[in-house]
Amino acid sequence: MTVAFILLALITVAAAVAAMSMPRLVHCALALVVAFAGLGCIFLALGAEFVGLAQLLVYVGAVAILIVFAILLTRGSEISMRPGARSAFSGTVIALAVFAVLAHAVMTSRVSRIATTVAPPSNRVQEIGVELLHQYVLPLEVIGLLLTAVLIGAVILAWREKPAAEQEGARTR
């Protein structure tokens, strides 16, 4: 537990709490970005360069922008609300339960028992690439297919529909 880790962890947790409790939606989104960035920095501090940077690129660069864009395009930024007190208790219980399950899973997993004294590989990015395209090529392709399907679905959703009258006219003709 180094000082850097403690600082990063504190920032991340504080930002995550802020993301849930801020009254304004935009502030929540920005706090969430800080949480994402903190998580990426923790990955970097742990020496997982690729994962950390990918976290930054994908979450800070893309997901956060998407959230922000959604807020911009809706009226959400104008509404300010406090989280309802009624759901606070059940929410806390559920959150704690989820945390307990996850913690248990992590603590008892095989990964947690790997000795950390093993020297990390020198060129991790390359290794990740090789692994992805050899051992895990099938999951990669499946994910690619899924994303393509999503993309096509998005295009179809955004497709400008012909006005109903025109369609009617086409049918009767």
Q: Which residues bind another protein (CB under 8 A)?
A: 26-27, 30, 33, 37, 40, 49-50, 53-54, 56-57, 60-62, 64-65, 68-69, 72, 77, 123-126
Size (the chain), residues: 173
Angle ∠(67,68,74) on CA atoms, nearest 5 = 90
By beta-carbon proximity to another protein, the closer residue of 72 and 97 is: 72
Contact partners, residue 81, CB within 8 Å, separation at least 6: 23
- CB of residue 139 to another protein, shortest distance in Å: 21
Taking alpha carbons only, the member of 93, 22, 34 closest to residue 59 is 34
d(C-alpha 34, C-alpha 163), whole Å: 44
62/143 with CB nearer another protein = 62
User: Shortest distance, CB of residue 16 to another protein, whole angstroms?
Assistant: 17
Q: How many CB atoms lie within 10 A of CB 22?
A: 17
Q: Which is nearer to another protein, 4 or 96 (CB)?
A: 4
Residue 168 Cβ vs another protein, minimum distance, rounded to whole Å: 27
16 vs 77, beta carbon nearer another protein: 77
The secondary structure of 95-147 as a DSSP string is HHHHHHHHHHHHHHSSGGGS-TTSPPPS-HHHHHHHHHHHTTHHHHHHHHHHH
Q: Which is nearer to another protein, 2 or 172 (CB)?
A: 2
